[in-house]
Amino acid sequence: PLHCIVILAHNGLGTFKPVAKLLPNKQVIMAMLTTHGSFRSNPLTITHTGLGQTDIGLLSGELSSLQQEQLTSQLNSALPQVCFHQDIKKKQWFKLAINCVINPITAINNIDNGEVNDKRFSKQINLLLTEIIELSQVENIGLILTDLQAMVYQVALATAKNCSSMRSDILADRSTEIDYINGYIHHLGKNNNVATPENTRLWQQVLKLKS
C-alpha cells in the first residue's frame, strides 16, 4: 500500500531501481545503514553482538518533518541510536567504499578485519578507492581519497577482531553480497565507460570462492 514505508537495509547498492519499479511512483522508499554488530546464529535467529549507530534517509517519496521525527522515534525505541539524514546517498557511498575494501580483502585472504590495515594491502586499497571516487562523480557524489582512507583504517581498527559478513558467508558456504558491492562498481563503470580493474578483479575472485 502507498501509505507503507519501504526500508532497504543491506550492504551495497543497486537494489533501489528494481524495487522502485515494483512500487507506485510516490511510494516512500528509504535507505538504512547501520554499524550495529550481529551474526546469524541459526536460520531464524540474529544475535546482536555490538552497539552502533543507524542512519536513515529518503531515496524516493516524501515525508513531512513530523513524520520523519515519528519514524526516527519509533526506530530509536527498538534499537538506538537512529538518525535521520537528508543526504543519505552520500552516506551510502561512504559505506559502499568501506565495504568494497574490507569485505573482499578479508574474504579472499581469510583474515580478521584488523589485518586490512597491514601495509601489504595499502596499494590495493588506494586502487579500489580511486576507482570508487571516479565513479561517485558520475552520480554527483563528492568523495575525497584521504577521507575514505581514514574511514577504512578506523573501521578496520574498531572491528579488528571481527569476521566480516562476506568472509562469514564464504566460510558458511552462503551467497555473498559481492554483486552489490564491488560488482556494483564494476557494472556502473561498464555502463559509464569507466575502467574499474581492481574492483572487477576482487568481484571475480569472490565469485570464484563461492563457486
CATH code, domain carrying 40: 3.40.50.720
Is residue 173 helix, strand or coil? coil
The set of catalytic residues is: 95
Q: Per-residue pLDDT tens for 88-99? A: 999 999 999 999
Longest alpha-carbon distance in the chain = 51
This prediction's pTM: 0.91
Residues 72 and 109 in one domain: no
List residues bridging with 181 in a β-sheet.
none
- Yes or no: say if 165 and 177 are a contact pair by the CB < 8 Å rule: yes
Residues 53 and 106 in one domain: no
Instruction: Determine the Cα–Cα distance for residues 196 and 110; give it in Å rounded to an integer.
Output: 23
- Yes or no: say if 32 and 8 are a contact pair by the CB < 8 Å rule: yes
Residues 68 and 101 in one domain: no
Burial of 140 (0-12, 13-18, 19+ CB in 10 A): exposed
Q: Per-residue pLDDT tens for 136-150? A: 999 999 999 999 999
Best CA proximity match to 121, nearest among 111, 132, 131: 111
Residues 76 and 169 in one domain: no
Q: Which domain holds residue 152?
A: 89-210
Is residue 143 helix, strand or coil? coil
Consecutive 10-residue averages of pLDDT for the chain (211 residues): 88 93 93 86 85 93 95 94 94 96 98 98 98 95 96 94 93 94 98 98 95 60
Residues 80 and 131 in one domain: no
Residues 82 and 95 in one domain: no
Instruction: Determine the Cα–Cα distance for residues 94 and 148; give it in Å rounded to an integer.
Output: 7
Q: Which of 86, 109, 124 is the last residue of a domain?
A: 86
Residues 49 and 120 in one domain: no
CATH code, domain carrying 104: 1.10.1040.10
Residues 169 and 189 in one domain: yes
> Dihedral through CA 171, CA 175, CA 177, CA 178, nearest 10?
80
Q: Which of 86, 103, 137 is the last residue of a domain?
A: 86
Residues 99 and 124 in one domain: yes
Domain count, the chain: 2
